[in-house]
Structure 1
């Protein structure tokens, strides 16, 4: 082990680590440290411009520090902020968003929205657990990756996963450890609808009858659905029951969205409903509006929007999701929503939907943001944009483009605590044409 050094923590980094400076001025990121704390740390990784460290001894403790609820905190990479109260986590995320706007986009919102918050525990309805048979331990390890991604955190339970799965991780490990194919199960994909919790096991070889029977018995006993994935995404098939139907309702808009176990849906179901309401309020929809929804996925926003406007078009890069969006429109009796498959990272200015006039635009891009879209959109008739973001840096960059190149004003912005206890910053911003 390297010699210990004493550091004072002055700030929180975007990933939840404490920030300190060595006596020579070099930045040190300290896992699990909070502003105002002093600690003896050891350096675990040296880089040219910064070092990474772990606490060996906490000398001065922050008054904000609380005891993490999860015994795996500090080992599992799933959460990095359980040692902060929820209100302080949200304030830190708002600070990250504000700093990104200022540093990257050179913009600031005219007003800050109240943070959107929900239940901070048992909220994850979607997730992927890694699975590995460890001969030295004579057991199967089930969990999220550790900070060192080569290793899997040996979890007994997880308090952020929905309880039907989160409180049964040790049982899942014991179940798989008792299978003949225990070394051939690589991961468990969790997907929960309103009525069904489905576990999709990635099995690297066919399972024996005995293994299949053990899995069915576990599923029956705990009220779960079990599916197997021996190959790519199209290979997923139900083991028990014979058919697995997943869906979630958006009651405020009389919409019910069906999805498949490997489809992308918002991880936090309760916050998703709040976010949809929030976004549609910010759009200020009118009955005669024509709305364009880019990166629309399964129609999470598109279908609720359709209940409030004259017409809405959703565009998504994954053709399979577009097909299911169309199916969901049919099953909800919605006939004023259209869906198109298009790679939005590529110039789409000649696409028919891009040449149409849109009153309002909703964006919900991946981490890379929506900068490519702004080469041909928004058109002159679009006077309001709501941007849902999963990465504050790309939102800040795109905000700068909309304000400085397209003549919009950043009317409002705020964080949405979609992932409590993690450093992930989900946010929303409204832009209005000057």
Structure 2
């Protein structure tokens, strides 16, 4: 394909189309891939956040694009049977949750259908067996989160037509919360029912603490991490805390029992300052496998421990490792699947690209007395057969890649010819793409299903099983 000229000038056809001035009414026909309501106006799709299929709504245009338009919901004229009252006061503006207005059972059904649609449309594969969904608590589930902190006053003219809940206070007033929908601005939260009570109950006190801190202009965000033994906050700040601020935060931690870490900059390590002694770890348990896994507050872990327990149990059951088999766990993290698999298999090799997580996995193996695992930090874009850990091959493989999927790894896996592949996905579109690739490489999709790892959001976690065709 020819490259565009360096100084490419957009044509008139590429210019933004003007927005119609007055609100319109429309019927919502279905959901988009990100679970926004879709209407058709003048033969063009309009994506309307907060609208549900089967509803008649009044909306205004917020943006017009080349292939579709976007609208802002103004009123639900005829509500769907599946609509419910959101529990959170910030649900209309906060980008953390997109679906609190949809009944939980309907959320699961829509996510399951989205997975099937993506597998069919993108991967051109059918699902012979649809696995029953895995579900947990609808609120208080989110064990990891990032709460932003900003000192942001109103922009010129921002108060006119501002979204409800958007910050329009003075520049000296700190705002703490999550990003607004379709925006980088923060919604100033007073509550968050998806966070565990250990943190959610402290939001008013945290707001007051940030407001009292002299160095608040240098705070960027709070990382929240909640284990089954304790909860932790990591305060990221761009300038050192003075003595008074440090004492304020230490007193808050001692009063609440929240572990407190300070991280002076993006690249700096986080240091625990309260409690002053003990191992800098939180933990979660997998009782079915007699395992306790420890993690640092900044480590990646699954945000929903209840669903994670079910997911691990299902993955192990579907992979069905035998006592004489050798198993490969790619993108293994701190051993969430590797160690349970090691309870069943002869040997498990866990491969991860991030060395800190590999070290944590080795830590967890030792703490749980597991000696039939090997953890490796490796670049998975390099042919696996060049690595000594891949010698002898593998009977079965578990994949848990990031949102981008595992497209680079699949040809290598096919050359290893495992008897079964279990694929954990947090993005149905890349799973569908990879399912199509696996079909080309000689593997068929046997079963798939969704897991409600992120209730009230548009995120879809799923699991799929592949075997040689």
**Structure 1 residue 139: Cα displacement:** 2.6
Q: Does 1:322 align with 2:341?
A: no
- Name the counterpart of 2:250: 216
TM-score (norm 1): 0.96
5+ unaligned residues in a row in structure 2: which ranges?
1-18, 154-168
Q: Which residue of 2 aligns with 1:303?
A: 339
Q: State how 1:220-299 maps to structure 2 within 5 Å.
A: 220-243=254-277, 244-299=280-335
Runs of at least 4 residues off by over 4 Å: none
Q: Distance in 1 between matches of 2:403 and 2:120?
A: 19
The residue aligned with 2:24 is 5
Quick check: 1:129–1:187 contact (8 Å CA) kept in 2? Answer: yes
| Deviation string, structure 1 residues 311-348 (Cα, Å, up to 9, x no partner) | 00000111111111112211211111001111224444
Q: Which residue of 1 aligns with 2:194?
A: 160
* Contact 1:140–1:174 (CA under 8 A) maintained in structure 2: no
Q: Distance in 1 between matches of 2:261 and 2:183?
A: 26
1:388 and 2:406 are equivalent in the alignment: no
Give the distance between the partners of 1:372 and 1:54, measured in 2 at CA. Answer: 39
Whole-angstrom CA distance in 2 between matches of 1:3 and 1:376: 56
- How far apart, in 2, do the equivalents of 1:30 and 1:277 lie? 38
> In 1, are the aligned partners of 2:341 and 2:348 still within 8 Å (CA)?
yes
* In 2, Cα distance between equivalents of 1:150 and 1:339: 38
d(CA) in 2 for partners of 1:148 and 1:177?
27
CA contact (8 A) 2:339 2:370 kept: yes
Does the alignment pair 1:69 with 2:105? no
1:14 aligns with 2:33: yes
What pairs up with 1:21-420 in 2 under 5 angstroms? 21-23=40-42, 25-134=43-152, 136-137=169-170, 138-243=172-277, 244-379=280-415, 381-406=417-442, 408-420=443-455
In the alignment, the residues of structure 2 paired with residue 141 and residue 257 of structure 1 have an alpha-carbon distance, to the nearest angstrom, of 34
Displacement of 1:266 in angstroms is 0.5
The CA distance in 2 between the partners of 1:176 and 1:290, in whole Å, is: 51
Give the aligned partner of residue 8 of structure 2: none
Contact 2:411 2:441 in 1 (8 A): no
Change (3 A) 1:45 1:345: farther
Which blocks of at least 5 consecutive residues in structure 1 are unaligned?
Answer: none
- Aligned partners of 2:414 and 2:441 also within 8 Å: no
Alpha carbons of structure 1 residues 4 and 314: separation in structure 2 relative to 1, 3 Å: same
Give CA deviations for 1:288-328 in whole Å, capped at 9, x if unaligned: 11100000011110011111110000001111111111122
- Say whether the 8 Å CA contact 2:236–2:266 is kept in structure 1: no
Number of residue pairs matched by the alignment: 432
Normalising by structure 2, report the TM-score: 0.89
Q: What RMSD, in angstroms, separates the aligned Cα atoms of the two structures?
A: 1.5
